[in-house]
Amino acid sequence: MPQTTRRQALVSIAAGLSVRTLPAQDAYEPVTFSAEEFDLLGIVVDMILPASDTPGAREVGVHAMIDEDLAKRSDPLGTLRNGLAALRADGFADMDMPERVAVLTRFEAGSGADKDFFETVKGLTIDAYYSTEVGLVQELGYQGNTYLDKFPGCTHDHKLEDAD
Amino acid sequence: MAADDHDVVIVGSGASGGMAAWNLTRKGAKVLMLEAGERFERADFWSHVKPWEERERRRRGERSPGFETLPLRESPYETLAGQHFLLRRVWGVGGKTNIWGRVSLRYGDLNFKEPAVDGWEIPWPVSYSEIAPYYDNVEKLIGVCGGADDSKFLPGSLHHLPPPNLRCGEVLLRQGAEKAGYTVVNGRRAVLTAEHRGRAKCHYCGACGKGCDIGAFFNSRDYLLEDAFATGKLELRENAIVSHVLTDEDGAASGVRYFDRLSGAERTVAAKRVIVAASAVDSTRILLNSKSSAHPNGIGNGSDVIGRYLCEQFRFHVYAFAPQLYGRPATNDDGISGGHIYIPRFESPEEKRDYMRGFGIQLWGIGCGSNAQFAKRMSGFGLDFKRDVRKSYPALVQMHPYGEVLPYRHNRIAVDGTPPDRFGVPTIRIEYKLGENERKMLPRMYDVVEEILHSMRAEPLPYRRGDLDELGAAIHEHGTCRMGEDPKRSALNAYMQMHEVPNVFVVDGSAFPTPTEKNPTLSILAFAWRATDYMAEQMRLGNI
């Protein structure tokens, strides 16, 4: 089946459930981060996995999931707090998008606390986003964890030369 | 001591304890089994909870079974500074067989006799021809799928259930490895790919690690204890944390002490014969703590080998993409969860190399999975990144080499100077580091992985040559109560009976003198079956 057709079908199915992962997303009150930290976090996670033909990280509530998860563990909360404080000091929220991209690009290429922050928030964003129905099914096309009578395995004829 | 008419007391209900109970009860022995945890209920397994439903369930306060929480709470362990060791244990009926990886590889004479060839420590006291009939019997009993391959590195079987079809990434990996000259075989896994002895077959939901809701892979509770209970000869006591094997003035085992996990009460049961089967680390803790005037160094430990020679496999993980699969429609790649192919060891002891023993390569996590962890190793962020993750998702392949760690005397489990648990019983300290042989094997493992990935034209995700997974992560601890011919260098004879205390048998992985490069559960079952055949015969003859 052509990929686009299936994905379009999933998008239309998902239209009714795309925010089901966090029903009261707009009303979510952070329990770990301050309101300002939480807003910054929302900007960052959405820059890592933005909306495309599927919703972005902020829309599915990735920042809220991170807030919820870190309420129960101290690591890596410090790394996130320090990074968010650095962004705040730089006036990140008031920058335009190209400026923000430049900051995150510098963090990724950098070292020390900047790089730690970037990799930590990226890892948490990936874990959270691709654990949602939007991220896993709608975006990636995951079809697993179901009942099959037979496992068909690979049904196309692959050759190493297909890499050319 | 409470009056007790059990013929045998078994400590532990996992693969080895389950097998001992199954075999002895069917031969008519009355068995009391002591298990530190409780029964895990299938109805509680989250086998069919989708990844995106888990968060909502946790918000509602629901919990999946905490398979590994109990031992860390009840019996934490120490390590030496700079010698991290990841110890994973399951306390509960069935032990680790509730969530094991199901890889079922026969050991061969290559494994058993190699120490005699290279001269490092002691060989196994059993040959392949002696244990082969037990491998046959275990495979027929539990159901193992696999291929028709047979080699000195991986002896074949006539009893395999049909192997599952290969995922696309596995088809390409196999082509690449074979082109580079390596043998690739069907994975051998204790998963029912066909109905077997009245049990339902696997439905390919891919959630084995959460516990199987229909029991379609071997686990001690469903496959062994159920039959043992049906004989009417098995009594199981849950929440019984065993601390000591007790002895009489002659040094023979006379009972077992345990603590009731719920009430905290100390209890003893009389025992004519004891089987210790609490998995390598906890069995060793019990044996070393069982000190008496007859056994000042721990029961059966006059040779000072118990606790020593701790060994398992070291491993690492390399992730790559098969470009042939970039942007293909996602497929359901769950299969029987884990690898459907395997690259067995290929180096002979006679070959000239600068290290001993060898490694095999496991190949799990291939294709479309239930997360996108691999994306953490991809660079960038934003729309292009998100598009790359989607494109790469069906193309993921992984290689996981497992290398044999030599048994070293200084690698050990100790109970001296450790903090007590809440019952006042010493907990354990693990002292463990790799040696020169492993350092020499590691570059060769990386070479082979790179050669195969290059041959299949794969694009590896960033990795650092020489990186290792945490030590202990293979969860295959061995060596700390090893069997052997020489009582000065081993604690058990070839039938896993203590040289010094004939009415004690230790039938779990601690008895294995080497870890080999393979996963041990199939062998643990075979050896425990053989040991309890011998034990039953000795009981019949009145020798124990």
Instruction: Using the predicted structure, report yes or no on whether residue A14 has a pLDDT greater than 60.
Output: no
Q: What is the pTM of this model?
A: 0.95
**Cβ of A163 and B457 within 8 Å?**
yes
Chain A residues lying within 8 Å of B63, measured CB to CB: none
Instruction: Using the predicted structure, report yes or no on whether residue A13 has a pLDDT greater than 50.
Output: no
> Which residue is it, tokens 């970037």?
A118
pLDDT of residue A159: 83
Q: Cα torsion for B413, B416, B419, B421, to the nearest 10°? A: 70
The residue of chain A nearest to residue B177, with distances taken between CA atoms, is A160
Best interface-test mutation with A: which of B332, B387, B456 has the largest number of A CBs within 10 A? Answer: B332
Buried b (16+ CB within 10 A) or exposed e, B254-274: bbbbbbebeeeeeeebbbbbb
Q: Which of B56, B179, B370 sits opposite A136 (nearest CB)?
A: B370
At B112, which helix (H) or strand (E)?
helix B109-118
Residue B142, CA distances (Å) to B15, B38, B256, B434 in order: 11, 23, 30, 35
**Cβ of B383 and A162 within 8 Å?**
no
Task: Please name each of the domains of chain B with its CATH number.
Answer: 1-47+67-145+213-307+411-429+477-544 (3.50.50.60), 146-187+313-404+434-470 (3.30.410)
Dist CA B189 CA B218 (whole Å): 9
**Cβ of A153 and B54 within 8 Å?**
no
**Cβ of A159 and B324 within 8 Å?**
yes
Q: Which of B171, B370, B381 sits opposite A47 (nearest CB)?
A: B381
Chain A residues lying within 8 Å of B371, measured CB to CB: 127, 130-131, 136
pLDDT of residue A25: 52
Dist CA B424 CA B74 (whole Å): 11
Instruction: Using the predicted structure, report yes or no on whether residue A26 has a pLDDT greater than 70.
Output: no
Q: How many Å is the Cα radius of gyration of chain B?
A: 23
Dist CA B192 CA B202 (whole Å): 6
CA distance, residue B316 to nearest chain A CA (Å): 20
3-state secondary structure of B61: coil
B101-122: pLDDT as tens digits: 999 999 999 999 999 999 999 9
Q: What is the ipTM of this complex?
A: 0.92
A78-133: pLDDT as tens digits: 999 999 999 999 999 999 999 999 999 999 999 999 999 999 999 999 999 999 99
Which parts of chain B sit beneath pLDDT 50?
Answer: 1-3
* CB interface of B with A, residues 349-368, below 8 Å: 368
How far is the first Cα of chain A from the last one, in angstroms, to the nearest whole number? 23
A59-70: pLDDT as tens digits: 999 999 999 999
pLDDT of residue A156: 81
**Cβ of B172 and A158 within 8 Å?**
yes
**Percentage of chain B surpassing pLDDT 70?**
99
CA distance, residue B426 to nearest chain A CA (Å): 29
3-state secondary structure chain A: CCHHHHHHHHHHHHCCCCCCCCCCHHHCCCCCCCHHHHHHHHHHHHHHCCCCCCCCCCCCCHHHHHHHHHCCCCCCHHHHHHHHHHHHHCCHHHCCHHHHHHHHHHHHHCCHHHHHHHHHHHHHHHHHHCCCHHHHHHHCCCCCCCCCCCCCCCCCCCCHHHHC
**Cβ of A131 and B323 within 8 Å?**
no
Do B397 and B342 form a contact (C-beta atoms < 8 A)? no
pLDDT of residue B2: 47
Instruction: Using the predicted structure, report yes or no on whether residue A20 has a pLDDT greater than 70.
Output: no
Of B195, B202, B289, whose CA–CA distance to A148 is shortest? B202
Q: Which of B175, B322, B371 sits opposite A131 (nearest CB)?
A: B371
Q: Which of B203, B329, B455 sits opposite A148 (nearest CB)?
A: B203
Dist CA B165 CA B162 (whole Å): 9
Of B395, B400, B398, B376, whose CA–CA distance to B321 is shortest? B395
Instruction: Using the predicted structure, report yes or no on whether residue A1 has a pLDDT greater than 50.
Output: no
